[in-house]
Amino acid sequence: MSNNFDERLKKSMGSDKSDRAMQDRAVTQDRELSDEDRVSMFRQSFWQSALPDLPEIPGYHVCWLTTRNPRDTIQARIRLGYEPITAKDVPGWEYSTMKTGEYQGMVGVNEMLAFKLPNALYQRYMAEAHHRMPMEEESKLAETADMIREQARAVGSNVMEGDGTADMRRRIPTPIFT
């Protein structure tokens, strides 16, 4: 008797289980995204902007700063001269102000806060980071190339330089950054 009961139990569980699995499979397959849908979402993620463009404020460079970078903190940026943007700086942006917390009243989106930096200071920072420092590195590379050329001459050899090495010796005026 127990053999018959076990056999019936196996058969009924097996058939119900496969039927139910097939039904569930069809429902979940209908809800899943196709690979093409996923590729389309991936492609769009590179073109969508999560942050709105800040309006220009005369005399200032405007930017978004994160509150989550432990090496580049909001407090450090304030010490460098960055000033938080509030709704009074950009009329019509009242909807984008932080409502509570440490950054209450500042224009923000999620963990990003809007800041402004006086243009004169912005130009100096950009010149330092994107002109003077790279020029110093180029000078070091040019000196190394000169040293290698002199060492090669000392042993009766020759070093050929490309245009890029000669360009590293040219002094370029500091550009205006936008």
The letter for the amino acid at 80 is L
Per-residue pLDDT of 36-58, as tens digits, reads: 878 876 776 665 567 889 999 99
Report the residue count for the chain.
178
Q: Indicate the average pLDDT of the chain.
A: 84
| Residue 146 burial (C-beta neighbours within 10 Å; 0-12, 13-18, 19+) | middle
Per-residue pLDDT of 87-128, as tens digits, reads: 999 988 999 999 999 999 999 999 999 999 999 999 999 999
Predicted confidence at residue 116, as pLDDT, reads: 98
SS3 content of the chain, % helix, strand, coil (to 5): 50, 10, 35
Number of helical (H) and strand (E) elements in the chain, helices listed first: 6, 4
Residue recorded with tokens 């405007």: 62
Q: Which residue has the higher pLDDT, 64 or 28?
A: 64
Where in the chain are the domains?
A: 2-45, 60-118, 122-167
Q: Which residue has the higher pLDDT, 146 or 167?
A: 146
Percent of the chain whose pLDDT exceeds 90: 53
Per-residue pLDDT of 5-28, as tens digits, reads: 566 555 555 555 555 555 555 544
